[in-house]
Amino acid sequence: MSTQSTTRPADASGVLALGGDLPVNRLGYGAMQLTGPGVWGEPRDPDEAVRVLRRAVELGVTFIDTAEAYGPFVNERLIRRALHPYPADLVIATKGGAERPGPDDWRSNGRPEFLRERLELSLRRLGVDRIDLYQLHRIDPAVPLAEQLGALAELRQEGKIRHLGLSEVTVEQLKEARTHVDIVSVQNLFNLANRSAEDVLDYAESENIAFIPWFPMATGELARPGGPLDAASRSHGASPAQLALAWLLRRSPVMLPIPGTSRTAHLEENVDAALVRLDDEAYASLTAVG
């Protein structure tokens, strides 16, 4: 394993073209933590949240993931406050299809009228005419999938969405969705310690669909003092989180991790993971311990 130095470390993560025409650096930023407890309300330190977003762009991050349900609404407004007018190479992905009655309370709503309303509001909050990547937050089992995707396809035809993605789906759901509309990304729980979505990742890679792992740095017992990731961290001179992110980046060319944090120092450490190069032995070792 080796590291290098740069003022824009995210550039070292490589480039992935969403939908074949929307290039982003493969190490992105997930903005969910820039809200209050339970992903509800304003962040504890709004000024630091703004600094985090601006620093992410300075470090070469060109993909920021958010959702209108984060806050709710708080996250999108904060991104606009920090970064609008947006750099030409910055892609802001958001999501719709989840209602938030209270902290830590998430409820799917895939009714076409609800999806349209929330997309329109996201456009206003973010201050854009089109969402580059709009993701269905969850498939609503109470609404036919064709109706949910049909509503989003109509919005895309109207020029309000560029590309469509899904979140937390199975291979079968992804295949079914693709019979209705083009899908360029899928966002599932995946990390070194939890690879339950490996079949979704393999399918996404075979179809050149971006795979956005949420909770990408979760290492659990692997990083405990004296554990395998802790030992690897000491021997390689990188933090457990950096090793976990470096492993993800090497795992697949369609991988687009979005580590999140509410602190600038932690953000800088995370983005520096793009500079970590795992040799074959280190990669195999991490794969085995996971």
Q: Which of 29, 70, 134, 203 is an active site residue?
A: 70
Burial of residue 187, with CB atoms counted within 10 A of its CB: 0-12 exposed, 13-18 middle, 19 or more buried: buried
Q: In what order do the strands lie in the sheet with 210-214?
A: 29-30, 63-65, 91-96, 131-136, 161-167, 185-189, 210-214
Residues 33, 56: Cα–Cα separation, whole Å: 14
Candidates 133, 135, 131, 132; CA nearest to 148 is 135
Q: Is-contact 76 122, C-beta < 8 A?
A: yes
Residues 74, 191: Cα–Cα separation, whole Å: 27
Q: Is-contact 69 76, C-beta < 8 A?
A: no
Residues 153, 34: Cα–Cα separation, whole Å: 30
Region at 237 (left for phi over 0; alpha for psi -120 to 50; beta for the rest): left
Q: Does the annotation mark 70 as catalytic?
A: yes
Query: Per-residue DSSP letters for 69-126?
Result: TTBTTHHHHHHHHHHPSPPTT-EEEEEESEE-SSTT--EE---HHHHHHHHHHHHHHH
Give the residue numbers annotated as catalytic, written as ranges.
70
